[in-house]
Amino acid sequence: MSFKRLDPEDFLVSSDSIVNTLWSTDTPTLTTFFTSSIQIASSAGTYYYSVYQTGSTLSNAAVQFDIAYADSKGSGSVLYNNAVPGVSPTKTIYGQYRSMILEDENSSFTFGKGTNIYTTDNFWVINFERARYKQSLFPGSLNLKLSGSNGIINLTDDSVDNPVSQFLGSTRVYQLISGSNGTAGSLANSGYVASSGSYGLVFPDLGTILLNPVAVSQSIRVSPSRSNNSDGLNNQKLFTAIDLGDSFTINSQETLTSDYVFVRARNSEFNYSENPSFISGSTGEVIYDDFINAPQVYLTTIGMYNDSNELVAVAKMSRPLLKDFTKEALVRVKLDF
């Protein structure tokens, strides 16, 4: 017999969390930021700016994240139609996130918690490319520097200070605070801005950060234009703050499910080979007399078959494994999905 049936206990499914760098530079921190004039000039540019790790015309350029500005009153961008006041791309963006996160068209976004909360009808959005963050952002790894006329702020999520998950609607959320590596440390107001709430909200499972313009403005004097029916260049303002900050650190996280199959060769099994060099001539005689009673074979390959004897998966050893009547083999085969 050359096939051996597997028992139910030979299978094990294991799910493991894999944390990795998010940027396509394979480094934890992105220090250079570029936009594309072609993308900005396109119809998509009226909604969001795409940010690259290098010049957008270079062959290795890849979108790392997008920046957008949302305003419930439609301020900061040109109206779709002058006959319909207040309806512009920024209002569309606002409605998009309100629908997706708040799940209630009558609700507003609130930054902060406890007694220091701030409700606002506009915000900036940083939206990471799905291929970059894979399944979710890794809480505690966020370190974003924003630079403005009043200096630099270091922003992080509050996952270390408040490790119990909070939810907004059905979406996991952390507050964006002043600090580093998931904690405000000894900073005043627990990393919040006095009377303006937190700096924003971090949604790991959406790969999205919302920034509270009031808190950012109060801290570094970077604020969006809320003019009516004109392009306030608000996406450019946040991009400049990030670009001058020179440092954006965040990791991705995904759950990898692996199927382990334990294959076992008992001492009396798999001791002869159909390898043509194991036999001499066409009559099937083993090549060495020693191999009649003490065969030595070298296992190199493990094939996984279905009931129809079709080879569906295969694994190779890193080096040949000696098998004879005095040895048993136990090999764990890992299948990733």
Partner 1 sequence: MGYLNNSVVTVDAILTTKGRELLAKNDGSFRITQFAFADDEIDYTLYNPTHPSGSAFYGEAIQNMPLLEAFPQETQIMKYKLATLPRGTAKLPVLNLGYSAITLKQGASLAITPQTLNYLGNAQAYETSGYSATISDVRLMSTFTGIGINTTAAQTSNAPITTTLGTNVSQTIIGSQINLRATTVNTLFGTNTQLSATITFVGLDSGARLTIPVLINKTIV
Q: Which residue's CB is nearer to partner 1, number 34 or number 262?
A: 262
Q: Report the residue number, 9 or 105, with the smaller CB distance to partner 1.
A: 9
38 versus 312: smaller Cβ distance to partner 1 = 312
Q: Does 15 bind partner 1 (CB under 8 A)?
A: no
Closest CA to 201 of 47, 98, 89: 98
- The verdict on 320 binding partner 1 (CB under 8 A) reads yes
Beta bridge partners of 110: 119
Q: What residues between 270 and 299 interact with partner 1 by CB under 8 A? A: 270-279, 282-288, 290, 292-293, 295-299
The closest alpha carbon to 35, from 204, 250, 237, belongs to 237
End-to-end Cα spacing for the chain? 30
Which amino acid does the sequence have at 63? Answer: V
Name the minimum Å distance from CB 306 to partner 1.
5
CB of 7 to partner 1, least distance (A): 10
Distance CA 3, CA 7 (A): 13
Size of the site for partner 1 (CB under 8 A): 70
Strands 116-120 and 200-203 come out as: unpaired
Q: Which residue has the tokens 């964006």?
A: 176
The reply to whether 87 sits near partner 1 by the rule CB under 8 A is no
Q: Is 321 in the site for partner 1 (CB under 8 A)?
A: yes
Q: Does 327 bind partner 1 (CB under 8 A)?
A: no
- Least CB distance from residue 5 to partner 1, whole Å? 5
Q: How far is the CB of 95 from partner 1 (least distance, A)?
A: 37
Residues numbered 217-276 forming contacts with partner 1, rule: CB under 8 A:
261, 263, 265, 268-276
Q: Are the CB atoms for 93 and 76 separated by under 8 Å?
A: no
**Cβ 17 to partner 1 shortest distance, Å:** 19
Q: Which residue matches tokens 């009153």?
A: 73
CB of 258 vs partner 1, minimal distance in Å: 9
Say whether residue 316 binds partner 1 (CB under 8 A). yes
Task: Give the separation between CA 67 and CA 136, rounded to whole angstroms.
Answer: 18
Distance, CA of 335 to CA of 182 (rounded, Å): 34
What is the phi/psi pair of residue 282, to 5°?
-95, 0
214's enclosing H/E stretch is: helix 213-220
Q: Does 302 bind partner 1 (CB under 8 A)?
A: yes
Site residues (vs partner 1, CB under 8 A) = 1-6, 11, 261, 263, 265, 268-279, 282-288, 290, 292-293, 295-323, 325, 329-336
